[in-house]
Structure 1
């Protein structure tokens, strides 16, 4: 695969590519992420007091209600801010360099999101044995929708900035092989989704699916020279999984419909494999579309 646009994308990271800077930068990012979570809880404490904070902490852990789910999404502002501070303090480069050229990023974000809408729309029309049930009244769902879209935009953007922006750029500035700058961030991205206490034996399937998405998002970033296509892909995917049809359980609080299956159910394994196939097909379509955008 040819990644000529990736050379331009990585260029700002080449001035200070030392691994120690990257490692310290990741520590900074983790600390800022933790600070962001603390900031959200501090705000809850100021509004609701200590007992209220405990109640909302439980709501956030379960994330089966709309406000608790929104608060979970809000904590990702720290993940977004961390890499931005790291590149300024440790690598002496601009925050904008994490995103790639802004017009290109926006254009490819919209293209990827449009392709996903078409691909997922077709997939919803295909026959399926999956049973779904209404989870929220439509009027209530619509009232939360603007904040939910902003929250998912923040959450997916934070992950793309960290994994496909900061990590991918800095590793590519130091190592030429895609086996390092594509695989390592994707493996880390996948490992953070490993939750055997919630998903049981399905945890490894979810890690595999997440790792596959990470690799495809890394490819789109390298192909286009910005995080726009990967971000649009990620955003559309999470909108469907969080706002349209969610599994019954954590992060189902903003969903219009839920499938009455737990994340640990054996019945979802074929669905995970089907989702992986849909992800690959959608990636191919996005890759074709961005070359013409």
Structure 2
């Protein structure tokens, strides 16, 4: 595919290094093991902290707690870079593509995605705002740069693993786009399985995550870097974490606008216990809009 010509240059470093499947499987095991070992060390460090603080970190229910949770993803990204360097014997920087272009793509895709979300918010239908409150707006503004950096760490780490390491290594072994587009994102989607809100909600979330990852993989293939995918992911998660939340609910710590708990006043969402097909359809449409905005921004 002509549109994916940059992808062949992107995966070239993986093709001249070790790209056998057993090594890839071992690499993913080492990445996951390193990540969970790192999280265990973080938990050990938090053991002496008050229970309320630890709960806020695990649940992301406070500003500091959620940022610490997001910053912990740096372990995930470092694990992938170490595996790339020491197991596959190629420079970790090759996971990103050309650095200058990756940085440019990241900035452009982030700006395009945030602009798209802004335009979507101005269009009907509108959220019912009964009972909603502004969550410490001065603190929200003052911590905005640090919060965005924390989200960049989280999204960047996930992109390094799934659209960087996995996609490159699989594409080095299998040339057909269907394989390197689908397989990494089946793993990405499975990592989002969470039955806390019910099986129906978990199923919807996994489907959403698969198509989200597919869009990120496509951007990576079109641009030849993971910069656009990180920007696409960053814009999505910045809006998800920093715009709206439910008081006391997971990942609500950075939200500017909080709805009261229980969330009976919230619009339907894929976090509800049942499988909400109409809402999932809307969420997938938002992915398509965000993907298109990123493509326009990076001119791909």
TM-score normalised by structure 1 residue count:
0.91
- Aligned-pair CA distance for 1:247: 4.7
Which residue does the alignment assign to 2:138? Answer: 139
Which residue does the alignment assign to 1:283? Answer: 291
Alpha-carbon separation, structure 2, partners of 1:214 and 1:275: 13
What secondary structure sits across from 1:128 in the alignment? coil
Which residue does the alignment assign to 2:86? Answer: 89
What secondary structure sits across from 2:143 in the alignment? helix
Instruction: Give ranges in structure 2 of 5+ residues lacking alignment.
Output: none
CA contact (8 A) 2:105 2:227 kept: yes
- Aligned-pair CA distance for 1:54: 4.2
Which residue does the alignment assign to 1:36? Answer: 38
Alpha-carbon separation, structure 1, partners of 2:26 and 2:233: 27
- Aligned-pair CA distance for 1:58: 2.1
How many correspondences in the alignment? 287
Alpha-carbon separation, structure 2, partners of 1:254 and 1:267: 27
Which residue does the alignment assign to 2:22? Answer: 20
Partner of residue 115 from structure 1, selected from 107, 112, 117: 112
- State the Cα deviation string for residues 172-207 of structure 1 (Å, max 9, x = none): 000111221110111111111111222442211111
What secondary structure sits across from 2:56 in the alignment? helix
- CA distance 1:270–1:140, shift in 2 (3 Å): farther
CA contact (8 A) 1:193 1:206 kept: yes
Alpha-carbon separation, structure 2, partners of 1:271 and 1:131: 16
Which residue does the alignment assign to 2:62? Answer: 65
Which residue does the alignment assign to 1:251? Answer: 251
- Aligned-pair CA distance for 1:264: 2.0
Instruction: Give ranges in structure 1 of 5+ residues lacking alignment.
Output: none
CA contact (8 A) 1:32 1:82 kept: yes
CA contact (8 A) 1:14 1:173 kept: yes
- State the Cα deviation string for residues 122-168 of structure 1 (Å, max 9, x = none): 10001224224225110122233222111100000000000000000
CA contact (8 A) 1:69 1:254 kept: yes
- CA distance 1:165–1:247, shift in 2 (3 Å): farther
Alpha-carbon separation, structure 2, partners of 1:224 and 1:187: 22
- Aligned-pair CA distance for 1:268: 6.7
Alpha-carbon separation, structure 2, partners of 1:53 and 1:164: 37
CA contact (8 A) 2:199 2:274 kept: no
Alpha-carbon separation, structure 2, partners of 1:86 and 1:41: 23
Q: Compute the RMSD of aligned alpha carbons.
A: 2.0
- CA distance 1:274–1:73, shift in 2 (3 Å): same
Q: Hey, which of these two has a bigger chunk of helix by percent?
A: 1
Which residue does the alignment assign to 1:186? Answer: 185
Moved more, 91-100 or 54-63: 54-63
What secondary structure sits across from 1:250 in the alignment? coil
CA contact (8 A) 1:35 1:78 kept: no
- State the Cα deviation string for residues 53-95 of structure 1 (Å, max 9, x = none): 6443322333222122122112201111111000111111001
Which residue does the alignment assign to 2:171? Answer: 172
- CA distance 1:247–1:273, shift in 2 (3 Å): farther
